[in-house]
Amino acid sequence: MSASGRDAGPVEPTVVRVGDLVFLDAYLVGLVPAKVTGYTAHGNIEITITATRRRHQHGDETTSGPNYCVPRAHVRWRDGRHEVFGRWRFDGLPREFQPSWPD
């Protein structure tokens, strides 16, 4: 292992499961707290909104593409702004619908 401990190999992506808390990254609204409730046949994530944010009301059920559902542990807040980091995948979602990552 290197002296810094950072070169131990590739980091496995976080696995998001039904029931986990995520943020919906909504255009013009920002991050909306939500809970994963399932998946659609077309590869979208079914979510329930857990806090009201502008047009998204607490308890609303909706769907989102996997690239727009961010695990809460993958968001850092700095100076009132958010930063999304890391990689994740959704347990039970077919491979062809998993989030894509740049190399």
pLDDT digit string, tens, across residues 60-93: 999 999 989 999 999 998 998 888 899 999 999 9
- Percent of the chain scored above 70 by pLDDT? 89
pLDDT greater at residue 7 or residue 11 = 11
CB-CB contact of 101 with 87 (8 Å): yes
Distance CA 81, CA 7 (A): 29
CB-CB contact of 75 with 22 (8 Å): no
- What region does 80 belong to: left with phi over 0, alpha with psi -120 to 50, or beta? left
CB-CB contact of 42 with 93 (8 Å): no
Q: For residue 61, what are the β-bridge partners?
A: 48
